[in-house]
Amino acid sequence: MSFNHKGFTLIETLVAIFILGVLTTALFSIIPAIYRVDSYVWHQAYATNEARRGVKTIIREIREAITAEDGSYVILSARDNEFIFFSDIDKDDDIERVRYFLGGTSDYQQTQECVSYIDGGSCSVIFSDFLNGTLNEASVQAGVKGDFGLSSEMADIYADGILLGSVCAGGSSCEDCSAVWNGVTSFDAMSQTADGYLQLTADASSQVNDICSPGYFSMRAQFQLNWQATEAGVEREFKKGVIEPVGDIPGYPADQEEVVILSHYIQNQIGSPQKSVFKYFDKDGQEITDPVERINNTKIIKVMLIVNVEPNRTPDDYYLESKVQLRNLISGDE
């Protein structure tokens, strides 16, 4: 009896080992990629659901916006990436101050005054070292007191030597020696403010005389610098800040604001109107771009959050959009 023992030759064995090694290497190289894709999909889904919950909360709270405890108007600020309003968000019969904003985006304000004691004089103020972060918007609000009762009596407003415009010009309702600021006007000052230094000047016309008490001054000027800046490194977070009313005469102390993060991985862009969080519309559906006009005329607000965990890779950004009408601003003449 004979037996035929047939097996792999040495060459066949080496080839099999080589093929097995290639397959094993390929498999172990694919597995991390699969895990990375799965991790991205999970994080993107989580971030999208987080943002969706945030949008639903915003819509609900804006819809119920109402006059503040201290009598302030329903809308306090309406900017591209920040919206401040009043609403009873926790149903405790106290009206909270609510601020939704992108990253470290905040509004700031400083006020200075100056005076002239000569006929047709001028006076100036300087704002410096006020900018912390990236400047998004800046405006100057100017008003005057003094000898401004006639249509020929006015003051030109300059920013770093550049004429912004005039106050109390063309027969506006300004008065001689008024106890309140007259001709209050807002001017865009973005380009002049970008370096963190701003000199503002009020230059009275020659007809403005030193007839006002005390001290026989001709003109007092008040300059209110308003700007919005974003803290570096936190633009990808969408946040909510709430201030409860305090005191027998209700107030909203800024240092008592409680801030929480609503959404991460937000890709809305500062300085890009097409990718801003908020858009504002009047009763006819026309978009409002002026921040002051937005406060007075907004009836509908569009909220948009752009989500992407890794913006440098596909798929593209995920957009969440919704519109809300402010119920307590609807009047019978609309």
pLDDT tens per residue, range 195-247: 999 999 999 999 999 999 988 999 999 999 998 887 665 557 889 999 999 98
Assign a CATH topology to domain 107-230.
Jelly Rolls (2.60.120)
The β-bridge partners of 202 are 123, 157
Do 76 and 69 contact (CB within 8 A), yes or no? no
Non-local (6+) Cβ contacts of 12 within 8 A are: none
Give the C-alpha separation, 95 to 84, whole Å.
Answer: 13
Non-local (6+) Cβ contacts of 267 within 8 A are: 236, 275, 306, 307, 308, 311, 317
Question: In this predicted model, what pLDDT tens digit does every residue of 264-302 receive, in sequence order?
Answer: 888 887 667 788 899 999 999 999 998 889 998 999 999
How confident is the prediction for the chain on average, in pLDDT?
Answer: 85
pTM above 0.85, yes or no: no
Residue spans in the chain of domains classed CATH 2.60.120.380: 107-230
Give the C-alpha separation, 128 to 259, whole Å.
Answer: 28
Neighbours of 288 (CB within 10 A): 19
Question: In this predicted model, what pLDDT tens digit does every residue of 49-96 receive, in sequence order?
Answer: 888 888 899 999 998 899 998 888 999 999 888 999 999 999 898 999
